[in-house]
Amino acid sequence: MAGKLDLDAAVVARARELAARAGQPVVDLARSHTTVSVERAVLRLAGVRGADPDGIPWVNRLVDAVRADVGLEHGVAVPVFHALAGSGVEDVTVLAQKAAAGSVRFSLPSGKAATTARRLAKRATAAGLRTVDRRRAERDRMIKRYGDPRQRPWIYLIVATGDIHEDIPQAQAAARAGADVIAVIRSTGQSLLDYVPEGATREGFAGTYATQENFRLMRAALDETSKEVGRYVRLTNYASGLCMPEIATLAGLERLDMMLNDSMYGILFRDINPIRTFVDQRFSRQIHARAGIVINTGEDNYLTTADAVDAAHTVTVSQLLNEFFAHEAGLADWQLGLGHAFEINPDLPDSFRLELAHALLARELFPEAPLKWMPPTKHMTGDVFRGNLLDGFFNLAGALTGQGILLVGMMTEAVVTPWLSDRDIALQNVRYVLNGAGNLHEDFTPGPFIRGRADQVLSEAIGLLERIVDDGLLNAIADGTFGIMKRPADRGKGLDGVVATGADYYNPVSEEL
């Protein structure tokens, strides 16, 4: 989309330079630490599968056993594969079962034994990464065979019943009705579980558990529907929370196409320790880069707790930081579904013009990124007629500003879990606006009000980035800069799962990625 805001290129470059300076200390921190979930992700790629009778994955049991014997500062790969080589066991899952029973102990080898363990670990994890590569190649073949949606933005619709076997027909019905991306929203509270549930799940709360089997079942169902409707239907889930690296790995193994993966969402809205989150998100984004997965970031959430006008610049700052962290982890621009939202109080004079200014600023700051445009939620009142009209304005703003991914707004938002009929009405709204105004951005020229507001937000973002560079990003998060949530770096869930790496730390997956 051609630039229409006449943004000063030097000012934009300054914003990116500041974001890099603010983000680099966090990257350095992530490079010098590991977490229990990063180590579990390594072992999942090496082939550990299944769970014990209590539902705790064997990979958790194995990492806990290694940590108890030798710690995690060396990584799990060497002690695990040293034990495998000396135990006579050929399967790493069987080794995990024996470790859980106390019949295997772990030690740190040296010399030739350490070299052998590294070689075995690299061979095993390389097999897992080859599976990720095959699944990416499958996606490319299916897109070539069935085609992509004929227009942008892609229509993104949420399905969530708690029961994967109920989700599947609803997702297929949504795709037939025009949805291009199906998001299976995750069960409430899963982000705070320090393990990934196993198998197909039929009981969730306001969502369905993210498990490898649920991923497999939904992907297979949408592949059938892709053939039926003549376009590749994409699948989204959530790589966030305490198991972010593992869920990203499972998504790569089962060919998901998009994943919710924000650098600060878990910190702000789930009170997960900041260091844990930044370490986990870097590894998870390396996996997403390898798998060809588009990430969706969560800046829209800031505007549900903070005022969408006063805090607009914090969204821009977060987008710039997310871009820096994503590029550092290997993601390309086409994989950056940076988030923003239509959350200004509709009773505010010129609210729609302000929404256009914010949306157009995001579009022009990140011209090669798909962007994820989120519908109104905060000011949905339960009046479904007003809500449907507000969603229509949201859809029109998306068309006018050339957004890439448009999440379907529901007139029953925040009132009830939508019925199929609610989704159908919402999809009718989207189709009407996009069919009637889908290329209106070609004719839309913003006036001085919109350009002035965009300049103001960008200027405020630069001012905030300058303060973050001086004070540090972790301190800014602790002070409540984003979403008015105060999250100190020495507190929060999952801190006990963070470990500073030693000089001999070895992670064959990070090395390869």
Task: In whole angstroms, give the CA distance from residue 214 to residue 244.
Answer: 16
Question: Can you tell me which residue has the tokens 């707790």?
Answer: 305
3-state secondary structure labels for all residues of 272-314: ECHHHHHHHHHHHHHHHHHHCCEEECCHHHHHHHCCCCCCHHH
Q: What is the pLDDT of residue 382?
A: 86
Domain edges within the chain:
33-126, 151-165+241-450
**CA dihedral in degrees (262, 267, 273, 276; nearest 10)?**
0
Structure tokens at 9: 């290129």
**Are 512 and 129 within 8 A, CB to CB?**
yes
Q: What is the DSSP letter of 232?
A: P
Q: How far is CA 222 from CA 163, 233, 242, in A?
A: 16, 6, 28
Q: What is the pLDDT of residue 2?
A: 59
**Are 254 and 200 within 8 A, CB to CB?**
no
Identify which of 346, 422, 433 has the alpha carbon closest to the alpha carbon of residue 384: 422
User: Any idea what the Cα angle at residue 343 is, between residues 341 and 348, rounded to 5°?
Assistant: 140
Bridge-based pairing of strands 498-500 and 33-35 is antiparallel
Q: What is the CATH number of domain 151-165+241-450?
A: 3.20.20.440
The widest CA-to-CA distance across the chain, in whole angstroms, is: 74
Task: In whole angstroms, give the CA distance from residue 33 to residue 510.
Answer: 12
Task: In whole angstroms, give the CA distance from residue 51 to residue 39.
Answer: 17
Any bridge partners for residue 184, and if so which? 159
Listed in sequence order, the DSSP H helices in 205-243 are 212-229
Query: Taking the model in full, what pTM does it have?
Result: 0.95
**Are 58 and 96 within 8 A, CB to CB?**
yes
Phi, psi of 211 (to 5 degrees): -135, 160
Bridge-based pairing of strands 339-341 and 372-374 is parallel
Residues 6+ apart with CB under 8 A from 167: 159, 160, 161, 184, 208, 218
Q: Which residue type is seen at 443?
A: D
**Are 70 and 79 within 8 A, CB to CB?**
yes
Per-residue pLDDT of the chain (513 residues; tens, 9 = 90+): 558 999 999 999 999 999 999 999 999 999 999 999 999 999 999 999 999 999 999 999 999 999 999 999 999 999 999 999 998 888 999 999 999 999 999 999 999 999 999 999 999 999 999 999 999 999 999 999 999 987 889 999 999 889 999 999 999 999 999 999 999 999 989 999 999 999 999 999 889 999 999 999 999 999 999 999 999 999 999 998 999 999 999 999 999 999 999 878 889 889 999 999 999 999 999 999 999 999 999 888 888 888 999 999 999 999 999 999 999 999 999 999 999 999 999 999 999 999 999 999 999 999 999 999 999 999 998 899 999 999 999 999 999 999 999 999 998 876 666 777 888 899 999 999 999 998 888 899 999 999 999 999 999 999 999 999 999 999 999 998 887 889 999 999 999 999 999 999 999 999 999
Q: What is the DSSP letter of 373?
A: E
Any bridge partners for residue 272, and if so which? 493
Q: What is the pLDDT of residue 439?
A: 85
Q: What is the DSSP letter of 343?
A: -
Which residues are identified as catalytic? 265, 300, 372
Identify which of 271, 276, 243 has the alpha carbon closest to the alpha carbon of residue 34: 276
Q: What is the pLDDT of residue 414?
A: 67
End-to-end CA distance of the chain: 32
The secondary structure of 449-496 as a DSSP string is HHHHHHHHHHHHHHHHHHHHHHH-HHHHHHTTTTTT----TT-SBTGG
Residue ranges with strand state E in 63-112: none
Q: What is the pLDDT of residue 262?
A: 84
Question: Can you tell me which residue has the tokens 């299916």?
Answer: 142
